[in-house]
Amino acid sequence: MGCAHPTGEKGGLVTVKASADEVRQAFAGRRFALLIGIPQSHDEHWQPLRYAKKDVKDLAAVLQDPLRGRFAHVESLTTPAQTTREGVKAAVARLAALATQPEDVVVLYVSAHGTLARDARGELERYLVTSDADFHRVSQTALPIDALSAGLLASRSRRRVVVLATCHSGSGKSLLPEDVASELASLKGALRPLEEVSRASIVLSASDFLETAREDETLQNDVYTHWLIEALAGGGDRNGDGAVTATEAHDYARRRTWVFSQGRQRPSAEMVEVGADPVVLTGDVKRTGQPELYSYVPRLDGFTLRVDGVERAELPGGAAVGPGAHHVELAKGDEVLLTEEVRLEAGERLDVDSLARRTDPFLSMTATGGAFGFIDSVSRQQLLPVSPALGVAVRFERVLLKRITVEADLSGFGGQGALSLAPQSPGVPFGWSSILVGVSLAWQWDWRWVSVWVGPRVAGLWVQRSFSLDAYQGTQSAFSVTPGLLLGGAVHLTPHWEVSVGLQAMLAAVVVDGVTQTLGFAGAWAGIGYRF
Amino acid sequence: MKRSLAIALCALSACGGLENEPFKTGTIRGQLVAADANAVVAVVGQPALVTHPDSAGRFTLEAVPLGTVDLLIVVNAALSHRQPVVVGGASVVELGALEGRRSGKLELYVQSVGRHVLTGGTVSLVGLPLTSPIVAPENEAEFFVPAGCYEARVVVPGLPETTVSGCVGEAGLFEQHLDLEPPDGTPGSEGCSITGCEDGLVCQADFSCR
């Protein structure tokens, strides 16, 4: 195998004139699309779809627009002959073969009926109702949805997008066999969502599982498709970088579909291998975009993303923000999953799920300094004075019910002083040392940078006094189990460092001169903590 | 079994204990120079806290309450002393050698208004372990005490109890004459029919001595 060099001899380098733009263009991915609209099956059980063909036509227009999509190849299948089970499979294979580089973008769009049926293994499977599908023999005649994603796996592209403007709920753009519908009613929620079984890089679904994808006469399109087209035409450029990515387009269409359908249709998405490498569907990145916060993981579905106290997006989805420091919060109702300070640069894209995973659950270790002592003055004069204390506290935040925080603390204190046993009498000099070990179960509230927790605690208090007097040399020690209350608070200086304070009030049973006394014991501390 | 129970109770509530009683009293030590058999050391106001030095004049006063106490020291009839002492809890206060100063003298002369015979009467100094009998024929009681102010309680059978206060300087003298009158209706009101009369006087029908 030869190589080139500048002498022009065989195997030498060849000088080629090429501009930077030309080089970039050469390495930029090309865009290919297969758009499938199946308005009708030969089986009349499925009602015809009015806008399946128009969905394909409108979407093709924006993808082929030389100013926006600039797709190198767009194939549309809308006739009964083209949209048979085998016809669709063959078209998917052709699409996969077109992409020869990882940077190539491959889009597969389907607007059709969907349905559910048992496959050969007896498992409930999602099917695309192709033009030759038979209502009574779905598994033999229709095309499994998984086959669409699987067909794209042959492609060398790692920028694959599947858009499903269909549903499998049995209403709207789907119709289920009677036995399946009956079984589905009893199994509702037990099936895995489509997005979890897909192996495509991105699956954008016009409706969530068991929800209805709808066509609309006013919009003259499938509802989701209408807004998707509008997003691809430029409306979805959330971060203002000149390009519309798959996630930007989906978020744009998703929110508007949700509003338009008055909450009845909730498009969903699964993201794989996406983040730093967004899939650009239309336009070009002409400038560095605004930083973006996003998440598409199912576990954060329904959470609201607040940035600097302002509600910016409902997850799954995302929002563009200005560069700089931001306070990010994920909440669902009163439940706050995450409060985090982040600093974002222009063009940066941050998956908030990574923040949630990093900070949930929280474990903090705090070095503390404070003071402890009996509440009443007589005990402070005659048993133990107020003592400076050093300690450590370990806090497991929100370990139960996402509100309950467990805190364990250890404090040691000691010193030299004098007992004052009678008025105007000289003090009785002595030294003391003490250890307080406690555990608390506290209810925690979080507001932005501040957390406050309060709850019951129980501790063991051990006290030792040492005397070296003319007529008494020796030590005395006492131990008491002390139930009480903890009030704590922390200010989060950074995602990891915090300043915290604590107040503890306890009841200690102490035997004094042979008589058990129940005495109030309290402490206050402040500390610097590190959160893991 | 008992040990296990104790450990269990300890784990559940409290164990061990703190003691303050040992620190509520202290000890005073010293040695009186030229002490005689009547020497005494006492805490003013606490008659139970009194001790007599040994033959060498050494004394130890234990269980003295915490704080400042007024110590009365009688070395002999001529020398005595009062000294404030600060006592610490479970501590020993060493006073060292104490010589005393010249005593003052308290003299009390007691008689009844009816000139009855006084028998078994005593005078004691309030708050001090010092008591003196009322001695005939002049019905006199005397004390050699350090300079200071004192309250004396006079107790004579058949006559009302009374007190008298007075101060004495170093080597000074305080003298007081007391006339005690039996109140009506008391055993003393029957006068000399019970007590008899002083020498040279005769008990009359109205129970007075003339």
Chain A residues close to B11, C-beta within 8 Å: 481
Provide CATH code, domain A28-284.
3.40.50.1460
- Return the amino acid letter for A199: R
* C-alpha B74 chain-centroid distance: 12
CB contact under 8 Å between A469 and B19, yes or no, is no
Quick one: B182 and B150 in the same domain?
A: yes
Contact in structure between B58 and B94 (CB atoms under 8 Å)? no
Residue B125: inside a domain = yes
Alpha-carbon span A307 to A311, nearest angstrom: 6
Question: Does B21 reach chain A within 8 Å, measured CB to CB?
Answer: yes
Distances (CA, A) of A311 to A306, A356, B126: 4, 17, 87
Q: Are residues B112 and B180 in the same domain?
A: yes
The more confident residue out of A80 and A286 is: A80
| B200 belongs to a structural domain | no
Better pLDDT: B146 or B199: B146
Residues 71-90 of B with CB under 8 A from A: 86-90
User: What is the C-alpha radius of gyration for chain B, rounded to an integer number of angstroms?
Assistant: 25
Cα A281 from Cα A246, distance rounded (Å): 6
ipTM beyond cut 0.90: no
Best A507, A511, A516, A517 residue to mutate vs chain B (most B CBs within 10 Å): A511
pLDDT at A273: 40
Tell me how crowded residue A439 is: count the other CB atoms within 10 A of its CB.
Answer: 15
Would you call B62 an interface residue with chain A, using a CB distance cutoff of 8 Å?
A: no
CB contact under 8 A, B91 and A508: no
Number of domains in chain B: 2
Domain shared by B149 and B73, yes or no: no
Residue B12 has pLDDT above 60, yes or no: no
Report the range of poorest mean pLDDT among A70-79, A203-212, A439-448.
Answer: A203-212
A347: left (phi over 0), alpha (psi -120 to 50) or beta: left
User: How does residue A13 score in pLDDT terms, banded at 50, 70 and 90?
Assistant: very low
Q: What is the C-alpha separation between B23 and A502, in angstroms, rounded?
A: 35
Same domain, B46 and B59: yes
User: Do residue B97 and residue B109 come from a single domain?
Assistant: no
Domain with CATH 3.40.50.1460 in chain A: 28-284
Of the candidates B83, B102, B121, which is a domain's last residue?
Answer: B102
Task: Tell me the percentage of chain A whose pLDDT exceeds 90.
Answer: 42
Distance from CA of B104 to the nearest CA of A (A): 31
CATH architecture of A362-531: Beta Barrel (2.40)
H/E run at residue A36:
strand A31-37
Position B8 in a domain = no
Q: Does A411 have pLDDT greater than 90?
A: yes
CB A519 within 8 A of CB A510: yes
CA distance B87 to chain A (A): 7
B18:A426 CB<8 A: no
Of B142, B175, B135, B137, give the one whose Cα is nearest residue B156.
B135
Interchain CB contact of B158 with A (< 8 Å): no
The band of A217, judged by pLDDT with boundaries at 50, 70 and 90, is confident
B204 touches A at CB < 8 Å = no
**Residues of chain A neighbouring B20 (CB-CB closer than 8 A):** 382-383, 419, 421, 512-513
Output DSSP code: residue A299: G
Contacts of A512 in chain B (CB under 8 A): 17-20
Does the beta carbon of B65 lie under 8 angstroms from any beta carbon of chain A?
yes
Confidence of residue A174 (pLDDT cuts 50, 70, 90): low
Task: For residue range A439-488, list pLDDT tens digits in order.
Answer: 999 999 887 788 999 999 999 999 999 999 999 999 999 999 999 999 99
CB-based contact B14 A477, cutoff 8 Å: no
Closest chain B residue to A511 measured between Cα atoms?
A: B17
Residues B128 and B71 occupy one common structural domain: no
Residue reference for tokens 């004579």:
B156
- CATH code given to domain A288-360: 2.60.40
Count interface pairs A-B at CB distance under 8 A.
99
Contact A476 B67 (CB under 8 A): no
d(CA A374, CA A383): 9
Check residue B23 and give its pLDDT.
95
Q: Among all residues of chain A, which has the CA nearest to that of B85?
A: A425
Instruction: Indicate if the pLDDT at residue A406 is higher than 60.
Output: yes
Going edge to edge, which strands form the sheet with A73-77? A73-77, A31-37, A105-111, A159-165, A202-205, A268-271
| pLDDT-wise least confident of A347-356, A362-371, A521-530, B58-67 | A347-356
Provide mean pLDDT across the span A34-55. Answer: 88
Residue B104 has a pLDDT of 95
B123, B190 Cβ separation under 8 angstroms: no
Same domain, B117 and B86: no
A215-216 and A243-245 strand pairing:
unpaired
Is residue B98 assigned to a domain? Answer: yes
Q: What DSSP assignment string belongs to A160-176?
A: EEEEEE---SSSSSB--
> How far is CA B128 from each of CA A146, A211, B135, B146, B162, rounded to the nearest angstrom?
111, 103, 20, 12, 17
The answer to whether residues B69 and B37 belong to one domain is: yes
* A221 SS3 class: strand
**Token pair of A393, please?**
């506290």
- What CA–CA distance (Å, rounded) separates A361 from A402? 9
For A154, the token pair is: 């042959």
| A206 — pLDDT class (breaks 50, 70, 90) | low
Q: Å from A511 to nearest chain B CA?
A: 5
Which CATH number do you get for residue B140?
2.60.40.1120
One-letter-per-residue 3-state SS of B186-210: CHHHHCHHHHCECCCCCECCCCCEC
Contact A470 B90 (CB under 8 A): yes
* Residue B165 forms part of a structural domain: yes
Classify each residue of A92-117 as buried b or exposed e, where b means 16 or more C-beta atoms within 10 Å of its C-beta: beebbebbeeeebbbbbbbbbbbbbb
Contact between A389 and A412 under an 8 Å Cβ cutoff? The reply is: yes
| Max Cα–Cα distance, chain A, nearest Å | 112
| Residue A220, both tokens | 């003259």
Q: Which domain holds residue B71?
A: 22-102
The verdict on residue B123 lying in a domain is yes
Average pLDDT, chain A: 82
Last residue of a domain, one of B102, B119, B151: B102
Same domain membership, residue B112 and residue B50: no
- Is the model's pLDDT at A243 over the cut of 70? yes
Is B205 part of any domain? Answer: no
CATH 2.40.160.20 region(s) of chain A? Answer: 362-531
Hey, how many other C-beta atoms are within 10 angstroms of the C-beta on B171? 12
CB atoms within 10 A of CB A413: 22
Please give the average per-residue pLDDT across A176-180, as a whole number.
57
Do residues B114 and B189 both lie within one domain?
A: yes
* Helix A145-152, helix A85-98: angle, nearest 10: 20
User: In this structure, are B136 and B171 located in the same domain?
Assistant: yes
Q: State whether A425 and B68 contact (CB < 8 Å).
A: yes
Nearest-CB residue to A514 (from B17, B24, B27): B17
Task: With a cut of 70, say whether residue B70 has pLDDT above it.
Answer: yes
Query: Is B13 in Cβ contact with A480 (below 8 Å)?
Result: yes
Would residue B12 count as lying in a domain? no
Of A426, A471, A481, the CB nearest to B13: A481
Q: Is B18 on the interface with A (CB under 8 A)?
A: yes
